[in-house]
């Protein structure tokens, strides 16, 4: 079990967590508390674009961006600011499952655009065959605030056209490529034939495990059972400077979070949301 500090490409401080037999390892940037890679059993589970931009203020394309306190467009920058802020390293543990805690608090800049005092703790834990992340939000202000939160995970796939997802049948979703119409799919398997951008609003009632190609299992907590499924497809990938046409078939985003409405958090209160990803075979 080890935790190593190193400098990523553009000089961003980074951490590498490795479990006892070197079977599994994770690379994390303090910038965005961004998980760039998770390798287990010699397989890279996460997708990181070869065109990803590593520069202050820019979101990184791939890995696991933390979307907070706003999902999607709105008064704040797209997907909020947590993914473009530099977090602080807190407690680390190498006894048993290797883990780290990263923290982000309000500052002058966040207060200007989001006038609430907060402290975030992101716990990242590497288990034998699984990877766990938990976000804790502490309201440090003297009033209630609201937020949405999402682990925007990019999974590597051999080919999006042969990728299948199980566990989302009969769950109502907003279809963002069809005017956000509310739909439900009874098919047990979700396959991809074009641009897909769906927000499955489970709303905490039924945290189904999601299976990617019968091989990777994704489970949220009761507070994070909304699932976003995204692939931009060829044209949008081509138009995106940090994806590129050659990459659209190589990933699918399966994103666990609480986005169907806002979490209302009273002063001094804590909210916790997590997800766990397991390689089944």
- Specify binding-site residues for substrate: 61, 78, 83
> Sign of the C-alpha dihedral, residues 28, 43, 217, 54?
positive
Cα separation, 117 vs 122, whole angstroms: 17
Cα separation, 79 vs 190, whole angstroms: 25
Which of 14, 168, 228, 256 lies at the binding interface for ligand TA6 (CB under 6 A)?
A: 228
Question: Contact between 79 and ligand TA6 (CB under 6 A)?
Answer: yes
* Among 49-57, 72-80, 101-109, 118-126, the segment contacting ligand TA6 (CB under 6 A): 72-80
Shortest-Cβ-distance residue relative to ligand TA6: 230
Going by C-alpha positions, the residue among 206, 198, 183, 193 that lies closest to residue 254 is 198
Q: Mapping DSSP to helix (H, G, I), strand (E, B) and coil, where does residue 111 land?
A: helix
> What is the SS3 assignment for 238-274?
HHCCCCCHHHHHHEEEEEEEEEEEEEEECCCCEEEEE
**Which of 101, 134, 255, 276 does the annotation list as catalytic?**
255
Smallest separation (angstroms) from ligand TA6 to the CB of 240? 7
* Among 17-25, 27-35, 71-79, 157-165, the segment contacting ligand TA6 (CB under 6 A): 71-79
Structure-token pair, residue 243? 């994806």
Q: Indicate the residue among 72 and 203 with the shorter CB distance to ligand TA6.
A: 72
Which of 16, 25, 58, 59 lies at the binding interface for ligand TA6 (CB under 6 A)?
A: 59
Residues 229-268 that bind ligand TA6 (CB under 6 A): 230, 255
Q: What angle do CA 62, 136, 104 make, to 5 degrees?
A: 65
Which of 2, 4, 20, 78 lies at the binding interface for ligand TA6 (CB under 6 A)?
A: 78
Q: Could you list the active site residues?
A: 152, 255
What are the residues binding ligand TA6 (CB under 6 A)? 59, 72, 78-79, 152, 176, 197, 228, 230, 255
């Amino acid at each position: 079990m080890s935790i190593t500090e190193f400098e990523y490409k553009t000089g961003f401080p980074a951490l590498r967590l490795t479990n006892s037999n070197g079977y599994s390892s994770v690379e994390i940037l303090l910038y965005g508390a961004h998980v760039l890679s998770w390798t287990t059993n010699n397989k890279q589970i996460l997708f990181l674009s070869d065109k990803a931009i590593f520069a202050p203020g820019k979101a990184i394309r791939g890995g696991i961006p933390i979307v907070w306190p706003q999902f999607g467009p709105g008064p704040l920058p797209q997907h909020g600011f947590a993914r473009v802020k530099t977090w602080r390293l807190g407690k680390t543990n190498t006894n048993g499952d290797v883990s780290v805690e990263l923290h982000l608090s309000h500052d002058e800049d966040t207060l200007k655009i989001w006038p609430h005092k907060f402290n975030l703790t992101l716990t990242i834990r590497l288990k034998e065959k699984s990877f766990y992340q938990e976000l804790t939000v502490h309201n440090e202000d003297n009033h209630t605030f609201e937020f949405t939160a999402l682990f925007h995970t990019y999974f590597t796939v051999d080919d999006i056209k042969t990728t299948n997802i199980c566990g989302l049948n009969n769950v109502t979703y907003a279809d963002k490529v069809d005017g956000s119409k509310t739909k439900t799919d009874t098919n047990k398997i979700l396959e991809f034939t074009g641009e897909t951008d769906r927000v499955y609003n489970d709303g905490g009632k039924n945290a189904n495990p999601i299976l990617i190609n019968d091989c990777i299992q994704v489970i949220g907590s009761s507070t994070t059972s909304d699932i976003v499924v995204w692939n931009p497809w060829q044209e949008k990938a081509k138009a995106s400077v940090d994806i590129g046409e050659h990459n659209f078939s190589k990933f699918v985003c399966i994103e666990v979070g609480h986005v169907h409405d806002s979490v209302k958090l009273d002063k001094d209160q804590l909210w916790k949301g997590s997800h766990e990803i397991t390689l089944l075979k």
